[in-house]
A and B are shown apart, each in its own frame.
Chain A
Amino acid sequence: MKKMANMKTLFDPGSVAVIGASDKQAKLGFHVMKSLTKGGFTGRIIPVNPGSHEIMGLKAFPAIADHDGQVDLAIVVLPAKLVPGVFRECADKGVKGIVLITAGFKEIDDLAGADLHEELAGIANEAGMPVIGPNTFGMVNLHADLNASFTPEFSQVKKGGICLVSQSGGISHLLAFMAMRMDVGFSKIVGLGNRLNVDFAQMLEYLMDDPDTKVIVLYVEGVDEPRDLIEATRKLRGRKPIIAYKTGSGTVGDQASLSHTGSMAGRHDIYTGAFRQAGILYTNSTENLLDAAKAMASCPIPGGPGMAVLSGQAGPGMASCDLCEAAGLKIVRFTGKTQQRVNELLPPLALRTNPVDMGPAWYDSSAIEGIIQAVMDDDNVNGILILMMFASANVDAVKGISDLLVKWAQGKPVISCIQSPPGIWDEQIRALEESGALVNYPTPERAARAMAALWEYSKIKDRMEQD
């Protein structure tokens, strides 16, 4: 299908026109131009505005037809009533895809908005042009240095393997800012807006073969054709993890319903069931969504639920154990060989079975290294949780285990909560994360929950592959 072939060009264009480009800060067209130019886009940028000759140092054109060369992507930031004309010009010009930032179509009360929406869909579908929007902040392809949004700061998000497909501009901005603070990398950020002809299902179809995307994150409010989404997901057969967060958890069913089933069927319950059916991992907060995505982008999948919990201090270890068990993970018994090695390295007063309290060996980094090594080699262990709190006397603890962890490179998933006052271990943790040695979280509970999400995905993948 032409539209799907054009999706690739839409996200990775050689040339981008901004229709409604502006050099006035009060206009969205200004911010879009800033996003493109400051975002480091290396392709051609073509500002279109009949009232300007030059915008941000670039030659501007009165109309898209006045530019001689090919235009791959058009970003449209014009009042709604002008958009149908512009769509026709884009179709004539052979534009491959459109980001329609303009609002004021189906979402407004006026019926004329819905008519306009249909008209645009007709033009775009006939020309085979996929359209992101209307009523969106736009989209960002970080690996292409393409920021086709009105938020230049999106370009500061680290390049990574997570693609966010979202129905809310606000949630997209929130997740992007959280990602910056948590040092989580994204491949793309896509604001679907009111989904003229690109909905979740089409995005999934495209992302299935997008080499930059390892994990797909969905923020869902409501879908017009949810069965398409389920179908598209099933086709993926668990090849890439899909994690969703849906708001609107009110359990209000149809009060006028004559049956119990009808009156109890909240949309949220149906969505949750449908997501499970489709093999989508379901989370219940923005934090869990991003935490799970971060783990899936960087960790191998555990081969079973068996966990080893290694902590520098007993409390954080207990906190993560509680959560592990509640989430279906198992704190396993070590093999005799591992247990013997741990017993050699720790004095009898310590908690030497799983969870291991490494406290008594805390100032002996070779003992800690030995314990971690023994656990890595244990066949009963499918994943390792490491919880270490800074103490003044153990400032070198992270350094002490770094080489071993980097060398092992997560032969099994390693998730940690290594915490210090700001500035002490931050750089070392960042280096460990970047080398792929572990994934770190600010609390033991979040670390355990992220591990549980990995195990959930492992089960989903197994199940989907059997289909």
Chain B
Amino acid sequence: MPTTNLNAFERRLLNDFQQDMPLSPTPYADMAARLGVSEAEVLEALTSLREQGVVSRVGPVLATNRVGASTLAAMAVPEPRLEAVARLVSEHPAVNHNYEREHRFNLWFVATAPGEAELARVITELEQATGLDALVLPMIQDYHIDLGFELQWN
């Protein structure tokens, strides 16, 4: 969906509440009050933007390795098998991100699990299901402070 299809209200809704949504019993009404619209308009807009795929969710971004274990992993998938392997990886409930990238290691995914033993098992399951070795690249240090993403409208 092109950026130009968003109106000024939708742009502010997307930009102004990435970091700190109100934590009151009625957060959407509070957001509406700050934007000068009704609660119903905020709920309708968020529902619509979520259906269009512009909004992933309204919720938390969790710190890595504080709630459970997670890791980035990559596979070098022969090109003819890429779609089938990607589907196998995406189907695993522990995988939350899965991308094709331009590299010999062409499939990149993130897996999460309640603990490290379960995570190791997930990786083994994915290796067995695909017949491919995974490059397992867990985070050692996070340098980025997540402030959301400043959207530039032009």
To the question of whether A and B form a pair in one complex, the answer is no
Chain B residues packing against A (C-beta within 8 Å) = none
